Structure 1
Amino acid sequence: MKKILLGTAALAFSASMAMAASHMQTVRMGTEGAYPPYNFINDAGEVDGFERELGDELCKRAELSCEWVTNDWDSIIPNLVSGNYDTIIAGMSITDERDEVIDFTQNYTQPDPSAYLVMTGNEGLDLGSAVIAAQTGTIQASFVAESGATLVEFATPDETIAAVRGGEADAVLADKSFLKPISDEGGDLVMLDQEELIGGGVGLGVRESDGELKAKFDAAIQSMKDDGSLNALIEKWEIGAPF
């Protein structure tokens, strides 16, 4: 009889857990999937990287059921606003210009230094008169446009690298954490010593009408800062400096 009662209790507990999970709010997490180590598509065809691991943990702490959606960078904000997904978690720096269109959670990274990547042998490049490639709609593209150098924009990070290799640009300006593994390969590309500190760190983007969702993610991010788990992820994926 005791075994039967225990079995019945276990079944009831499992059923209640399943019911609770089924009532969780589902949130669609929008990312690019093309900017390692922040986010990329792994060999299994799944979203991977720092932001996948971070996003899954944030959803767990916020008691949300999350689905991952990929979207091209150049339309990632318009498609959030139009409702194709509920957040942007894609290495997006918090800026005043973007904040006029969408809302941001608190930052989950410190500002990541931007660096220049050039062809080996071109380390003496005069950046002020150079042709510099950057991804469209990024803080790096805005920085180059305001610097007086010649800006050439591309839709994807990989295209900016190809532009330097193909002679369309003298250098790439992008997040150091993205460029460093390419430079460390020791091939035909090398990172310059000069760095630029632009942007206010990276946060989750949400629609301005989704204040409740923003508050849930803010609380989850803060809890990860408080217990040190966010710094552990930052160090694991080598994303700038810890908090």
Structure 2
Amino acid sequence: MNKLLIGAAALSIAATSALAGSHSVVRMGTEGAYPPWNFINDSGEVDGFERELGDELCARAELTCEWVTNDWDSIIPNLTGGNYDTIIAGMSITDERDEVIDFTQAYTPPDPSTYAALSADIDLSSAVIAAQTGTIQAGYVAESGATLVEFATPDETVAAVVNGEADAVLADSSFIDGAIAANSDLMVVGDPVALGGGVGMGVRESDGELKAKFDAAIQSMKDDGSLNALIAKWEVSSQW
């Protein structure tokens, strides 16, 4: 999920230096609210593309992992603050984020963002556009000349269009596809927008050893084709 969030992350970096190095248990931080990337299933467990991917990466890296959910708007500060050890939450790799945290290599290519609305007769250049707070989509809308309205969760952005608070919503194409499938009144409008540099795992800048382990695991999945198979299964982006 292609998202832009720095927030107050830098304030916690110094306090986490003691957390670097070896990890007996790696805590995998995700949002749990962005299907098909990550969501909470009927059993109350983290599910989706990134749950399956993360479990496989941990197995290949010979790491014991557990899953932690966190609201999107504080997901980077709580990584640097030590509440978990990675972010695996549809987070696009951007220069701004890379100033605060490190990223593994991308595990999906850049996923186009798509607009959805209730009518095809929308002038996106002057419309009211909903986007999730702290995302690269929100940043794009803010610079486009349209009126941006931000919401804390992805579902709220869709609801804003359905209830008339916004003319359209901009989000990752894979999320928009699911929203349209769940609400037949919604439709794709306008052209896709290419944003971000692919999705990767976020780690603390002090955790170079952990980053290297996940980099190697991601590369091994690319090399044997299993990553493309997983991308195709969950339909989250184009393949490598």
Query: What is the TM-score of this pair, normalised by structure 1?
Result: 0.88
* Cα contact 2:124–2:190 (8 A) shared by 1: no
1:168: which partner in 2? 165
Residue 190 of structure 1 pairs with residue 178 of structure 2 = no
Amino acid in structure 2 at the alignment position of 1:101: V
Instruction: Give the number of the structure whose alpha-carbon radius of gyration is greater.
Output: 1
Following superposition, the deviation at residue 184 of structure 1 comes to: 3.0
What percent identity do the matched residue pairs reach? 76
* Cα contact 2:158–2:179 (8 A) shared by 1: no
Rounded to whole Å, the distance in 1 between the matches of 2:181 and 2:163 is 20
Residue 102 of structure 1 pairs with residue 115 of structure 2 = no
* Cα contact 1:177–1:238 (8 A) shared by 2: yes
2:13: which partner in 1? none
Please identify which structure carries the higher helix content: 1
Unmatched tracts of structure 1, length 5 or more: 1-22
* Cα contact 1:39–1:51 (8 A) shared by 2: yes
Query: What is the TM-score of this pair, normalised by structure 2?
Result: 0.89
SS at match of 1:129: coil
* Cα contact 1:116–1:172 (8 A) shared by 2: yes
1:43: which partner in 2? 42
1:118: which partner in 2? 117
* Cα contact 1:24–1:63 (8 A) shared by 2: no
1:226: which partner in 2? 223
Runs of 4+ in structure 1 off by over 2 angstroms are none
* Cα contact 2:35–2:178 (8 A) shared by 1: no
Moved more, 33-42 or 174-183: 174-183
* Cα contact 1:118–1:170 (8 A) shared by 2: yes
Amino acid in structure 1 at the alignment position of 2:94: T
Amino acid in structure 2 at the alignment position of 1:57: E
Following superposition, the deviation at residue 25 of structure 1 comes to: 2.4
| Number of aligned positions between the proteins | 219
Following superposition, the deviation at residue 182 of structure 1 comes to: 2.0
Unmatched tracts of structure 2, length 5 or more: 1-21
Rounded to whole Å, the distance in 1 between the matches of 2:86 and 2:207 is 10
**Whose RCO is larger (CA < 8 A, sep 6+)?**
2
Residue 129 of structure 1 pairs with residue 126 of structure 2 = yes
2:135: which partner in 1? 138
Aligned-residue Cα RMSD (Å) equals 1.2
